[in-house]
Amino acid sequence: MTDNPKEVTKTRMENALHFLATSDETEAQLHSLYESNKNKTRAKFDTVAAYSEGGNEAKRNAAAYEHEDYKSAKAAELLALTEWCALKNRRSTANMLIDVWRSLNAARNKGQIT
């Protein structure tokens, strides 16, 4: 029997606790990957802009934005950001589920709900 995703049950709360306990390192790794990719993207942009030929700074920057090395670095940065944010959102949902379960359980213990 599968839990209804709209119900806040003890099993779902326990699963959320387990998920939070086991995803700390993964979140840290994804955050680190994103930061690393962000720095690589900036370095790639700066390098391409510095070695672009002719023109003023605006033209060199425009050339850097269109360079394939920059575009692939930016794509890797955005992918890492997406993965990190998705995990953060799942962790946030787990935290909210635990908070709701605790509130419901406290109300049950007080006899406010059955």
**113 phi and psi angles, rounded to 5 deg:** -135, 160
Q: How many domains, in total, are found in the chain?
A: 1
Mean pLDDT over each residue of the chain, to the nearest integer: 93
Cα dist. 59→14, 54, 77, 92 in Å?
56, 8, 24, 43
Answer yes or no: is 16 within a domain.
no
Answer yes or no: is 11 within a domain.
no
Question: pLDDT (tens digit, 9 = 90+) per residue, 53-84?
Answer: 878 999 999 999 999 999 999 999 999 999 99
**Residue 73 near residue 81 (C-beta atoms within 8 A):** no
Would you say the pTM of this structure is higher than 0.75?
yes
- Which residues touch 71 (CB under 8 Å, ≥6 apart)? none
Question: pLDDT (tens digit, 9 = 90+) per residue, 14-26?
Answer: 999 999 999 999 9
Structural domain span for residue 98: 24-109
What is the structure's pLDDT at 93? 96
- Which residues touch 114 (CB under 8 Å, ≥6 apart)? 108
